[in-house]
């Protein structure tokens, strides 16, 4: 049988395992970095302690983010365990509160994620780094603990599903709309244990922030990892940021894909995921619901580009009297940029609340948890039953511009409807 070219994920796993591998191969590979947070870190440390070895310190990244600053004794205990571990082993890559932020944003900002890298993270949205051309996979805490001590992990090389997204994107369409549209097509299981690869002129049109959003929410389709071919925008983002040298890897023209799905980008529009499933997607124009809360933040859409878009909608306007707006920057750097650019002032003057970086209410932690019957439109990644609070609350997912417009209107609405009102 004639061998065809390789997909990007096959190339990365071949390099990191030192073998010529294909989809379906079970391998042991060298991991560039392993990341844990304040929830997944403590059990990883317990697993590591059973190995009786010294940690691979330069490979380990510790980022408290889910319940920080600590909201109660239980979360304080988790954070303390991570902190004690970091000090005991003199970990060089520990990001304390006030110096880090949401784990995936920090991994990108601080230059850990680079094209061709293999990164494991004890969090399901680790696939975010595919926005830079890395292969990054979510793992369990026990696996993370093993990597702490060995620097390696076994993997099954995934098949790749390719999305060719071509054509002009309307200026109102953001990365969130692209990925929600993809999920609506393939469902929550459509990418199960697959690498989802995104290509085409529409993807090239998007900036790194939007590409990160697309890679991030590939998790909601069950993906093992995501991949967007790196280009000059990637290189510009990495300049002065990358910690290591990198290699631009891309799929060969004759690579074998499990499936190729073509999407006409000119047909995409701003959308909303209805409560219960990220795959339950409707155009914003077809959704009419009053809201109690509007929430902008998380590893999906809490970057400076997202806050700029929200501020552009909010400038000179007020949040609806019956609605609360909560904006949570995804990192300390994003927070500082939002302050220096005057975005926090715009949001505050509109009647919104801005916090420091944390995962907050995305996972129903705190800083915006919903009560019974409350409705929230959110730029986060999941809207399953009870995700952000009470089981009788409802969460709608959208891009940050729609969230900001809805905060002003007190109901879900397109930004164009708000902006056209003088």
DSSP percent split of the chain into helix, strand, coil, nearest 5: 35, 20, 45
Each residue's pLDDT tens digit, 275-332: 999 999 999 999 999 999 999 999 999 999 999 999 999 999 999 999 999 999 999 9
Separation of first and last alpha carbons in the chain: 66
**Would you state the structure tokens that stand for residue 143, as one six-digit string?**
């696996």
Cβ pair 102, 66 in contact under 8 A: no
Each residue's pLDDT tens digit, 4-16: 899 999 999 999 9
Q: Which residues contact 318 (CB under 8 A, 6 or more apart)?
A: 350, 351, 408
Question: How many CA atoms does the CB half-sphere of 68 hold within 13 Å?
Answer: 27
**Would you state the structure tokens that stand for residue 180, as one six-digit string?**
């929600």
Torsion sign across C-alpha atoms 395, 396, 399, 400 = negative
Radius of gyration of the chain (CA): 21
Of the candidates 389, 333, 164, 133, which has an alpha carbon nearest to the alpha carbon of residue 238? 133
Q: How far apart are CA 284 and CA 116, in angstroms?
A: 37
Each residue's pLDDT tens digit, 175-205: 999 999 999 999 999 999 999 999 999 999 9
Q: How far apart are CA 350 and CA 317, in angstroms?
A: 6
Stretch 118-128: mean pLDDT, rounded? 98
The count of other CB atoms within 10 Å of the CB of residue 26 is 9
Cβ pair 226, 137 in contact under 8 A: no
Q: Which residues contact 314 (CB under 8 A, 6 or more apart)?
A: 325, 346, 347, 350, 352, 404, 407, 408
pLDDT confidence bin for 343, thresholds 50/70/90 = very high
Each residue's pLDDT tens digit, 73-85: 999 999 999 999 9
Torsion sign across C-alpha atoms 125, 127, 129, 130 = negative
Cβ pair 115, 133 in contact under 8 A: yes
Burial class (CB in 10 A: 0-12, 13-18, 19+), 119: buried
Each residue's pLDDT tens digit, 102-114: 999 999 999 999 9
Q: For residue 4, what pLDDT is reported?
A: 83
Q: For residue 150, what pLDDT is reported?
A: 98
Q: For residue 1, what pLDDT is reported?
A: 52
> Residue 27 pLDDT > 70, yes or no?
yes
Q: For residue 72, what pLDDT is reported?
A: 96
Q: How far apart are CA 112 and CA 242, in angstroms?
A: 7
The count of other CB atoms within 10 Å of the CB of residue 322 is 10
**Would you state the structure tokens that stand for residue 40, as one six-digit string?**
């997944």
In the chain, the percentage of residues whose pLDDT exceeds 70 is 99
pLDDT mean across residues, the chain: 97
Each residue's pLDDT tens digit, 135-180: 999 999 999 999 999 999 999 999 999 999 999 999 999 999 999 9
In the chain, the percentage of residues whose pLDDT exceeds 90 is 98
pLDDT confidence bin for 223, thresholds 50/70/90 = very high
> Residue 422 pLDDT > 60, yes or no?
no
Q: Which domains are delineated in the chain?
A: 8-242+249-263 (3.30.499.10), 271-419 (3.30.499.10)
Cα 291 to chain centroid, rounded: 24
Q: For residue 68, what pLDDT is reported?
A: 94
Name the CA dihedral angle for 237, 241, 246, 252, rounded to a multiple of 10 degrees. Answer: -20
Q: For residue 2, what pLDDT is reported?
A: 59
Q: For residue 353, what pLDDT is reported?
A: 98
> Residue 26 pLDDT > 80, yes or no?
yes
Q: How far apart are CA 291 and CA 2, in angstroms?
A: 57
Stretch 225-238: mean pLDDT, rounded? 98
Helix (H) / strand (E) element for 73: namely helix 73-88
Q: Which residues contact 213 (CB under 8 A, 6 or more apart)?
A: 131, 174, 175, 176, 179, 300, 301
pLDDT confidence bin for 44, thresholds 50/70/90 = very high
> Residue 48 pLDDT > 90, yes or no?
yes
pTM value?
0.97
């Amino acid at each position: 049988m004639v061998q065809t070219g390789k997909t990007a994920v096959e190339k990365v796993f071949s390099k990191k395992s030192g073998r010529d591998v294909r989809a379906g191969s079970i391998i042991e590979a060298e991991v560039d970095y392993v990341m844990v947070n304040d929830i997944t870190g403590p059990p990883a440390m317990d697993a590591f302690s059973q190995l009786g070895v010294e940690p691979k310190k330069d490979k380990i990244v510790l980022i408290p983010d889910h319940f920080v600053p600590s909201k109660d004794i239980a979360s304080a205990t988790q954070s303390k365990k991570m902190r004690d571990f970091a000090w005991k082993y003199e970990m060089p890559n520990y990001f304390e509160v006030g110096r880090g932020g949401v784990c995936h944003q920090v991994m990108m900002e601080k230059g850990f994620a680079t094209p061709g890298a293999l990164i494991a993270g004890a969090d399901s949205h680790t696939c975010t780094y595919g926005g830079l051309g890395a292969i990054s996979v979510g793992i369990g805490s026990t696996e993370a603990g093993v990597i702490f001590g060995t620097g390696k992990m076994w993997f099954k090389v995934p098949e790749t599903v390719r999305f060719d997204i071509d054509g002009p994107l309307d200026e109102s369409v953001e990365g969130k709309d692209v990925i929600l549209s993809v999920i609506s097509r393939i469902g929550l299981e459509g990418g199960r244990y697959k690498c989802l690869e995104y290509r085409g002129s529409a993807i090239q049109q998007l900036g790194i922030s939007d590409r990160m959003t697309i890679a991030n929410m590939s998790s909601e389709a069950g993906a093992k990892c995501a991949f967007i071919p790196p280009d000059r925008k990637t290189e510009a983002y990495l300049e002065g940021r990358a910690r290591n040298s990198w290699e631009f890897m891309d799929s060969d023209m004759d690579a074998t894909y499990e499936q190729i799905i073509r999407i006409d980008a000119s047909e995409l529009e701003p959308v909303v995921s209805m409560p219960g499933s990220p795959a339950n997607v409707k155009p914003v124009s077809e959704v009419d619901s009053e809201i109690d809360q509007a929430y902008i933040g998380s590893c999906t859409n809490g970057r400076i580009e997202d806050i700029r878009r929200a501020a552009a909608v909010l400038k000179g306007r007020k949040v609806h009297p019956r609605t609360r707006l909560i904006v949570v920057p995804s990192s300390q750097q994003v927070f500082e940029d939002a302050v220096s650019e005057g975005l926090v002032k715009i949001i505050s003057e509109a009647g919104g609340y801005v916090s420091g970086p944390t995962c907050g209410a995305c996972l129903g932690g705190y800083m915006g948890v919903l009560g019974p019957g409350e409705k929230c439109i959110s730029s986060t990644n999941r809207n399953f039953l009870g995700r952000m609070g009470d089981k009788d609350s409802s969460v709608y997912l959208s891009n940050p511009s729609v969230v900001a417009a809805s905060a002003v209107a007190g109901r879900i609405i397109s930004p164009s409807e708000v902006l056209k009102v003088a």
